[in-house]
Amino acid sequence: MPMQVEIFGVPMDLGANLRGVDMGPSALRIAGIGTKIAALGHDLIDRGEISLKSRVTLPKDGGSAKYIDEIVEVCIRLHDVAMEAKRRGALPVFLGGDHSIAAGTIAGVASHYRKENEKLGVIWFDAHTDMNTPATSPSGNVHGMPLASLLGYGSEALNAVGGDEPCIDPENVFVIGARDVDDSEKEMVAKSGIKVFSMKEVDRLGMAEVTKRAIEGASAGTAGIHLSFDIDGLDPIVAPGVGTPVRGGISFREAHLFMELLADSKQLTSMDIVELNPVEDVRNQTADAVVHLIQSAFGRRII
């Protein structure tokens, strides 16, 4: 069924350790993400880039949540952009940039549904759980904190992007593909009540069963599912162009199955695609692979 899809580039690298993810939106556009989604019959509008401050113009930040003020400023704007896109009846797709943008995009989609007395489910496809806080993060990089923030933990300023209450309910949050989790994050995961399907569960249960359980849980009592797709959830053999690669990840075919089943569910409300680092890529291999996967999420079928 045709959808109204709006693409937004968010070339932010303030939450990451390595430079380069700011070029992620351009790499995805070069790989044809817009034209290939539109070719599936969807009404697509590319809204261009969200303007933001360049890291090179800012003083170096060595704090426990680096560049937090600037990141909060961007996330507030993303909150409003996401709300407006949903108000127009669109399915917004945000091209990152580092994963800290999700603290704004998900907050905005959740705020839209909250106005309609509905909740938002989230599937967090990632090698990491991103459940650190300024008090626990070993690096101070905010791209390791957004899921904790959305659940009401960590930076008060970042938590407040979506209002005084946590944006999402932990019973509707599912992480898929985790395999690099700090000890402090393990404690936060247990405290929060979210469900994490690590690579052990993916291997033991199979991607079909993991996806089924995640979709059922994220959509239970919600208006639908926001997919926060961190490319490092994929195995580095498939996706070398990321800043924090972790061996033993999700295969290309497993990821396609995940996307196909998500499309079949018709529960997708919105999406982030984050952490693509063209500096680390090989001939845009990662961007090309990701665009193939995203087509499956928008209904591309084998037969």
Which amino acid is present at 145? M
Q: What's the rounded mean pLDDT across residues 266-288? A: 97
Q: What's the rounded mean pLDDT across residues 246-260? A: 98
Does some domain include residue 110?
A: yes
| DSSP helix/strand/coil, 172 | helix
- Percent of the chain whose pLDDT exceeds 90: 95
Residue 167 structure tokens: 């944006």
Averaged confidence pLDDT in the chain = 97
Please tell me the predicted confidence (pLDDT) of residue 302: 86
- Percent of the chain whose pLDDT exceeds 70: 100
Q: What's the rounded mean pLDDT across residues 111-121? A: 97
Q: What's the rounded mean pLDDT across residues 15-36? A: 96
Tokens 């997708």: give the residue: 268
Does some domain include residue 127?
A: yes
**Single pTM value for the model:** 0.98
Please tell me the predicted confidence (pLDDT) of residue 54: 87
At a CB cut-off of 8 Å and minimum separation 6, what does 172 contact? Answer: 119, 120, 121, 122, 217, 218, 219, 220, 221, 222
Please tell me the predicted confidence (pLDDT) of residue 142: 98
Domain that holds residue 21: 4-297
Cα angle, residue 262 at apex, residues 78 and 75 outer, rounded to 5° = 10
Please tell me the predicted confidence (pLDDT) of residue 164: 87
Does some domain include residue 131?
A: yes
Please tell me the predicted confidence (pLDDT) of residue 195: 98
Distance in angstroms between the alpha carbons of the first and the last residue of the chain: 16
pLDDT in tens, 60-106: 998 999 999 999 999 999 999 999 999 999 999 999 999 999 999 99
pLDDT in tens, 60-73: 998 999 999 999 99
Please tell me the predicted confidence (pLDDT) of residue 90: 98
C-beta separation of 229 from 125 below 8 A: yes
Q: How far apart are CA 132 and CA 123, in angstroms?
A: 18
Number of helical H runs and strand E runs in the chain? 11, 8
Res. 198 pLDDT band, cuts 50 70 90: very high
Does some domain include residue 58?
A: yes
Give the count of beta carbons closer than 10 Å to the beta carbon of residue 91.
21
Structurally, the chain folds into a number of domains equal to: 1
CATH of the domain at 255: 3.40.800.10
Does some domain include residue 160?
A: yes
Does some domain include residue 137?
A: yes
C-beta separation of 130 from 145 below 8 A: yes
Please tell me the predicted confidence (pLDDT) of residue 150: 98
| DSSP helix/strand/coil, 177 | strand
At a CB cut-off of 8 Å and minimum separation 6, what does 160 contact? Answer: none
pLDDT in tens, 39-57: 999 999 999 999 998 888 9
Does some domain include residue 93?
A: yes
Catalytically active residues are 99, 126, 128, 130, 143, 230, 232, 275
At a CB cut-off of 8 Å and minimum separation 6, what does 237 contact? Answer: none
Does some domain include residue 303?
A: no
DSSP 206-251: -HHHHHHHHHHHHHTTSS-EEEEEEGGGB-TTT---BSS--SS-B-
- In angstroms, what CA-CA distances link 155 with 5, 26, 145, 149? 32, 30, 9, 7
